[in-house]
Chains A and B, each alone.
Chain A
Amino acid sequence: MLESIIQNILNALQWGSFYSLIALGYCLVYGVLLLINFAHGDIFMVGAYIAFFVATFFLAAVGLPGWAVIALCVPLTMALTALVGVTLERVAYRPLRRKGAHRLYVVITALMCGLILENGNLALLGASRRLFPTLVETQVFNIGGIAVTNLKIAVILVAILSFVFLETVVSKTKMGMAMRAISYDKFAIPLMGIAPDKVVVFTFILGSSFAGLAGLMFAMSYPVLDPYMGALIGWKAFIAAVVGGIGSVRGAFAGGFLLGFVEIMVVAFFPSTYRDLIAFTILLVILTYKPTGLFGVARFQKI
């Protein structure tokens, strides 16, 4: 009994890691632009595909060993996914921001960009699912009857390290200070000698690269890729970010793990079809009692 509980907790940590990594991207962009970047889940999907192509290229064409491929894959995937994210910002969001369009129009544009990425991928690469190559032999460690794979440990560690890194960036560096300043008052920022566009691009680079990292990790853990894999995970990661209180890095992290726990525990004790139902019901209850999420700060409106 205890062993199965610990096993489930480990699974939940792994599942929550993906949610957290994606939720972090949502939360960064929201914190700076007050924009729900609905295309973020699909950027995660693009990241997984980029990882797939990079990995197969180095494995098949160059013939490197697995560990070297991973060492090359991580920075390349992150960089290329960040490029996709920044391109999206340049092409779709920035012109709208320049015009001072209503927030809602930007959100709709984001939703549509997500659809374009999904279906464009489907149109380009066909509907056949891709199998991600095995880069590292899975090793199973048995610790007192609990099976842990090296991949699981790696995923959890990567998520925690990413969180620490982002938290440091946001709270300690100059760029992070600029990000927080933009969300505090976007009109005073140019007066203080900060280029807002630079900060926005930096935010998108951060968020998208971590979505790419999540895509790589996800592809390694569940090696079947399909164009719609980002949609549901994206929505759910967004929900995780909201439950945590959107706009705070800690909230996104906590929310991701919370949602992971809820989902895995539901699957452990109920039929697996109830997963979405119970997860979303819990979300509704949380939002009804705490309308701004767990870590969110209530905003008062001046009259």
Chain B
Amino acid sequence: MQKFAVPIFVGLLFGFFVVTAATGAMNLYWQSVFMFMGINIILAVSLNIINGYMGEFACGHAGFMAVGAYVSSLLSVMLFAKDKVFGEALLNPDLALVLFPVVLLVGALVAAVTGLIVAIPSFKTRGDYLAIITIAANYIVKSTIENIDAIGGARGFMGMSRVTKAMEKTVDLPWMTIWVFIGTIFTIWIVWRFISSTYGKGIIAICQDEIAAEIMSVNTNKMKIVAFMLSSGLAGLAGGLFAHVLGYVNPGSFTILKSTEVMVMVYLGGMGSLSGSVMSAILFTLLLEALRPLQIIKWVVIPLMLVLLMHMRPEGIMGNRELTDVFPRLKKFVSFKK
């Protein structure tokens, strides 16, 4: 039962999204809501590695997202679409379908390397000072992008919609939905495997007590590098998907406010809880959509709810537990190795 439950569930979900989106049973609005849900899940789960499992306070996640978004957008437009800046497409647009995951992965890798900006100072600094470094990293990435005029600077960059259109021309399926779904499942899987492995336990050890972890032969510096790079790489993946879903990126959408949003999701779900992050990302996206008619008051209501949450239930929805701890019957189907 355990062996097949999760693949069957994921397969059913995947089938549901693809079929409803392809036949037009699900309208475009709901498609986009589900896509943003997936992107938010990736962001929340990846930040949970740092803020939840490692117990640091990082609040510059949007910076890495920006790196991934820009690198993958530039690459995909350069390779598969005709553009004012880059001229003709370098490759046949029919290849976009096959090579798109590669483009996303390159974006994620560059974002992971950018994560070193934070990882290297984190050897010595902890707590509040590390928080500042992450904020600074976010600002540095944003201002760097704003100052490169070749890719549009503060005006932003567009043309990714041509790539997604090229994909749909090759095989007529809702490709962006599929990629976001695959990316989300990939993220959850990789973080789950990482955290439940003996190797990944080093991160939880750092959270408990760094000095003791060092004494118990956890290479803390290496572990921190791994954690930060994995987290920022996945954020870059989310950024790449985000850019292609919207078809337009500009540095203004990767500010501290975006980072704050991701942080809200992590703490709403509960630190160090994968299922909590997933649930809170879903809830948060729905909340944002539900409160859309309130316009500006939305941004008063959401922080207010979080403040109330911190007062009533500071550990978040799940609070360092997984779904199987709350509903033990689920253990028949999934096992979270703790």
A104 cross-chain contacts in B, Cβ below 8 A: 57
Using a CB-CB cutoff of 8 Å, which residues 139-161 of chain B contact chain A? 139-140, 142-144, 146-147
List B contacts of A293 (CB < 8 A).
Answer: 129
1/0 per residue, CB under 8 A from B, across A99-115: the answer is 10110111111011101
Which residues on B sit within 8 Å (CB–CB) of A116?
A: 300, 303-304, 307
Within B275-302, the residues touching A (CB, 8 Å) are 296-297, 299-300, 302
Residues of B within 8 Å of A274, CB to CB, are: 143, 147
Which of the four size classes fits the interface of chain B? 35 or more
Contacts of B204 in A (CB 8 A): none
Shortest C-beta distance, A143 to chain B (Å), equals: 36
Given contact pairs A242-B128, A276-B139, A284-B136, A92 touches B307 in the complex (Cβ within 8 A): yes
Pick from B129, B135, B143, B306: contact of A291, CB under 8 Å: B129
B136 contacts A109, C-beta separation under 8 Å:
no
Closest to B295 in A: A123
Across-interface contacts of B306 in A (CB, < 8 A): 108-109, 112
Q: At the interface, yes or no: B117 with Cβ under 8 Å from chain A?
A: yes
A51 at the interface (CB under 8 A from B): no
Cross-chain contact A123 with B296 (CB below 8 angstroms): yes
List the A side residues contacting B142 at CB < 8 Å: 276
The contact of A119 among B133, B137, B300, B307, by CB within 8 Å, is: B300
B211 beta carbon closer than 8 Å to chain A:
yes
Tell me which residues across on chain A come within 8 A of B128, comparing CB atoms. Answer: 30, 36, 242, 246
- Return A95 CB to nearest CB of chain B, in Å: 6
**Once the chains are docked, how many angstroms separate the CA of A111 from the CA of B297?**
17
A232 to B175, CA, bound (A): 39
Neighbouring B residues of A101 by C-beta, 8 Å: 310, 314
Q: Does A128 contact B (CB under 8 A)?
A: no
- Residue of chain A at shortest CB distance from B306: A112
What mask results when residues 281 to 303 of chain A are scored 1 for a CB within 8 Å of chain B, else 0? 10110011001110000000101
Total A-B Cβ pairs within 8 A: 116
Judge whether A96 and B146 touch: CB under 8 Å.
no
Bound-state Cα–Cα, A273 to B143, Å: 8
Contact A96 B311 (CB under 8 A): yes
Segment of B39-47, B83-91, B106-114, B119-127 in the binding face: B119-127
Contact check, A115 vs B132: say whether CB atoms are below 8 A apart. no
Give the residue name and chain of the B residue nearest to A95 (CB).
Answer: B311
Question: Does B131 reach chain A (CB closer than 8 Å)?
Answer: yes
- Minimum CB–CB distance from A194 to chain B (whole Å) comes to 25
B220 CB to nearest chain A CB (Å): 13
User: Contacts A123-B296, A276-B139 known; A108 to B310 CB distance under 8 Å?
Assistant: yes
Q: Does A75 contact B (CB under 8 A)?
A: no
B64 close to A (CB within 8 Å): no
Q: Contact check, B307 vs A288: say whether CB atoms are below 8 A apart.
A: no
Tell me if B132 and A283 are in contact (CB < 8 A). yes
Closest B residue to A277 by beta carbon equals B143
Task: Compute how far the CA of A239 lies from the CA of B18 in the bound complex, rounded to whole angstroms.
Answer: 47
CB-CB under 8 A from A235, the residues of chain B are 135, 256
Contact indicator B143/A102 (Cβ below 8 Å): no
Compute how far the CA of A116 lies from the CA of B298 in the bound complex, rounded to whole angstroms. 10
Beyond A107-B57, A109-B307, A303-B211, whether A283 also contacts B136 by CB under 8 A is yes
**Residue in A closest to B311 when the chains form the complex, CB atoms:** A95
Question: What chain A residues lie within 8 Å of B133 (beta carbons)?
Answer: 284, 287
Q: Which residue of A lies closest to B298 (CB)?
A: A119
User: What 0/1 pattern do residues 228 to 239 of A give for CB contact below 8 A with B?
Assistant: 000100010011
For the complex formed, measure the closest distance between the CB of B314 and the CB atoms of chain A, giving whole angstroms.
5
The reply to whether A287 and B129 form a contact with Cβ atoms under 8 Å apart is yes
**Contact between B296 and A119, CB atoms less than 8 A apart:** yes
CB of A108 within 8 A of CB of B132, answer no
Please give, as numbers and ranges, the residues of chain A lying within 8 Å of B297 by CB-CB distance. 119, 123
Interface centre among B120, B128, B264 (most CB of A within 10 A): B128
Q: Which residues of B contact A105 (CB under 8 A)?
A: 267, 310, 314
A106–B142 CA distance with the chains assembled, in angstroms? 27
Q: Does A265 contact B (CB under 8 A)?
A: no
What is the bound-complex CA distance between A161 and B128, given in angstroms?
A: 29
Interfacial chain A residues near B212, Cβ < 8 Å: 303
A109 and B296 contact, CB distance less than 8 A: no
Min CB distance, A94 to chain B, in Å? 11
From A242, A246, A280, give the contact of B143 (CB < 8 A). Answer: A280
Which one of B132, B256, B310 contacts A109 once the chains associate, using CB atoms below 8 Å?
B310
Q: B146 contacts which of A95, A108, A246, A273 (Cβ < 8 Å)?
A: A273
State A162–B13 Cα separation when bound (angstroms).
62
Q: Assuming A96-B311, A123-B296, A287-B132, is B303 touching A112 (CB within 8 A)?
A: yes
Say yes or no for A83: interface residue by CB 8 A criterion: no
B299 near A115 with CB under 8 A, answer yes
Residue of B nearest to A246 (CB): B128
B263 at the interface (CB under 8 A from A): yes
A271 to B140, CA, bound (A): 16
Q: Given A30, A107, A119, which contacts B299 in the complex, CB threshold below 8 Å?
A: A119
Q: Does B260 lie at the interface of the complex (its beta carbon under 8 Å from any beta carbon of A)?
A: yes
B304 lies within 8 A of A112 (CB): yes
Top 6 A-B pairs ranked by shortest CB distance?
A112-B303, A277-B143, A119-B299, A115-B303, A280-B136, A291-B125
Q: Which residues of chain B have a CB within 8 Å of any CB of chain A?
A: 57, 117, 120-121, 124-125, 128-129, 131-133, 135-137, 139-140, 142-144, 146-147, 211-212, 256, 260, 263-264, 267, 296-297, 299-300, 302-304, 306-307, 310-311, 314
A-B contact pairs, 21 of them (CB 8 A): A102-B314, A105-B267, A105-B314, A106-B310, A108-B267, A112-B307, A113-B307, A119-B296, A119-B303, A123-B296, A123-B300, A239-B135, A246-B128, A276-B142, A277-B143, A277-B144, A280-B139, A284-B133, A287-B132, A288-B120, A291-B124
Q: A36-B131, A112-B304, A283-B132 are in contact. List 18 more A-B contacts (CB 8 A).
A: A96-B310, A105-B310, A108-B263, A112-B310, A119-B296, A238-B132, A242-B128, A274-B143, A276-B142, A280-B143, A287-B129, A287-B136, A288-B121, A291-B121, A291-B124, A292-B129, A301-B211, A303-B211
